Amino acid sequence: MSAPLAGLLVIDLSRHLPGPFAARMLANLGARVIKVEEPELGDPVRSAPPFSGGRSLLAEALLSGLESIALDLKQAGGLEVVESLLDHADVLLETFRPGTLERFGLSPPQLREKFPRLVICSLSGWGSSGPAAGRAGHDLSYQAAAGTLAATGRTPNLPAADLLGAWSAVAAINAALFARAHSGAGARIDASLFDAAVVGNVTNVAAARSVESELPAPGPLTGALPCYRIYRTADGRLFAVAALEEKFWRQFCAAAERPDLLALQYDRDPDAHRQVGELMLARTSAEWAKLFGRHDIPGEPVARPEHALEGDQATARGLAGGARGGIPFPALLDGERPAMTGDMPRLGAHTRELLAQFCPEKLKGPRRQRVAAGIGPRFSLKRSLVGWVGTLKR
């Protein structure tokens, strides 16, 4: 059960973060993922900081366990290979702007006619319809338009639109595969990072509808309440107090020997925040953690990302493998966590063996002829310099 998608073949044309994250989750569930990359530089994530030993740590996390084939989709030879791959595939995942597949001669209607069992997932920033469909964007712009930033007015520490969009794509792909098992027909999925951010903003929408103001005040889960926010402690660290329910706030006030704070739980006045903040400054983060644990009050020290992977809970749950660069699947299936297998492939590392498996006729000509036709990695001074600069950044 730890590899429920074993036997499924995913052709991944995606780039950057959302698509590769979705592809990695499908691979963790057992699918075979063939990543199609541009021959000269590959997925831009390969050049994304931070670096270690000339390798992108983000790329290592996203691309490990996948197979890489280098194809130029602007050349007929590259497109022919993609079609040969799709002839055996269950899922096509792509993150181009709407209309790009059509320019390649691979429009979704054409693909559905030629490959009726194929699940086609187009994951784009704004979706394939609406006035913004063709616009450029990044996570910050999708979150801004979706309203997720209004409550705090701060640049978020997590690319929520990218990650929620990736998960919505994974969910839709699995739903389409389930439906195909009954109908025999594939599907066209139009997934959007903007859509996912709007839907995921449910708590802030509810909070905004409860008050009448030009700009929404911080919501109950975004720092508006003294009982649910982050405070600094005596040792300069940060501690997250999450005593949202009345019983937990009572336990907190009793444990801290501050019954006078009982009435401040939901008080939005800055003075209420100040009083609780002064209390939190009276003890170290470790002392608060001990007290919260002893009295079963929701609250934890704010951990650094790398420390979170090394903690007792992460170790017990089998998440610690993420410290080595992989991305573990965030759920157990029948008591097992899907395995993270394989290292990050070099750009085009599997080109020859995939050609041999899916279209052996493409191997008959000399290598320079194949490269000219858009098949196989090309030497790139820019790629070499990126790796060299990455080494210097270690």
Cα–Cα distance for residue pair 219/222, rounded to 1 Å: 5
Contacts for 13 with CB less than 8 Å, ≥ 6 apart: 19, 36, 73, 82, 92, 93, 94, 95, 96
CB atoms within 10 A of CB 150: 18
Residue 61 and residue 327 in contact, taking contact as beta carbons nearer than 8 Å? yes
- How far apart CA 77 and CA 172 sit, in angstroms, is 31
Active-site entry in 162, 260, 271, 343? 162
User: Is the CB of residue 130 less than 8 Å from the CB of residue 98?
Assistant: no
How far does CA 160 lie from the centroid of its chain? 8
Neighbours of 234 (CB within 10 A): 14
Strand duo 32-37 + 67-70: pairing: parallel
3-state secondary structure of 269: coil
Q: What is the DSSP letter of 25?
A: H
Q: Which residues of 73-90 are buried (b: 16+ CB within 10 A; e: fewer)?
A: bebebbbbbbbbbbeebb
User: Considering only CA atoms, which of 294, 297, 164 is closest in space to residue 228?
Assistant: 297
Distance CA 121, CA 150 (A): 30
Q: Clarify whether 162 is annotated catalytic.
A: yes
Q: Annotated catalytic sites, by residue? A: 162
